Amino acid sequence: MENLVSIGKAAKILGVSEITLRRWDYEGKLPSIKTEGGHRRYDISKLRPEKVHKCTALADDRKTVAYARVSSHGQKADLERQKQVLELFCSQNGWTFELISDLGSGMNCHKKGLAKLLNAILTDDVGRIVLTHKDRLLRFGAELVFSICEAKNVEVVIINKGGEPSFEEELASDVLEIIAVFSARLYGSRSEKSEKLLEDVAKAVAEVRQTLV
């Protein structure tokens, strides 16, 4: 029993989402061991990411989509960084992929890139989506999209699963997303007032974080 790990730990080792592991369990590609309470456990000695990815790639000829997103125009540099990380990761895994990016809040689905991705998922054109972080897809509602992916047998690969943010950091990021949406509506998404408001809020959040360290 010492070699058994939780589904969350197994997902981190393999670099995939828990939803993907559940699908692989259903399909028999990577069976889990069930505890008396019905929880999935995985044998570390049997976790072979390259073998699982190869098996998935051979069984599914649908395309891979790498998705990147930032919330505001002031984060364009981060958007380019995300694209580079996604391109390198997909290339290293030998995946032919399409890169889709968005510039907009993660609080809603009103983005052209995300709409294109969701449509491709629903029409069975996508077999795998790759993200740098889970919240790059959506800050609120990502789990619903992941559930759709599970129903459509779409693999979700999240590159950076380690170093999960604290509750305070996630709350601060959520506040920034909310401010971004309302300031854009109030002043215009590209106005100097909007950018100044976001900078002031970010500065205040940073000061609060320092007090929590």
Rounded Cα distance, 192 and 55, in Å: 51
Alpha-carbon Rg for the chain in angstroms: 19
DSSP 66-135: EEEEESSGGGHHHHHHHHHHHHHHHHHTT--EEEEEEES-TTSS--HHHHHHHHHHHTT-EEEEEESSGG
**Among 71, 72, 101, 194, which one carries the catalytic annotation?**
71
- The tokens for 200 are 């002031």
Which among 173, 91, 93 is positioned nearest to 136, based on CA atoms? 173
Which among 20, 199, 170 is positioned nearest to 106, based on CA atoms? 170
6 classed as catalytic: no
Question: Which long-range contacts does 141-150 make (Cβ < 8 Å, 24+ apart)?
Answer: 141/109, 145/118, 145/121, 146/17, 146/19, 147/19, 148/118, 148/121, 148/122, 149/19, 149/121, 150/19, 150/20, 150/22, 150/23
Instruction: Note whether 106 and 140 are within 8 A (CB).
Output: yes
Catalytically annotated residues: 71
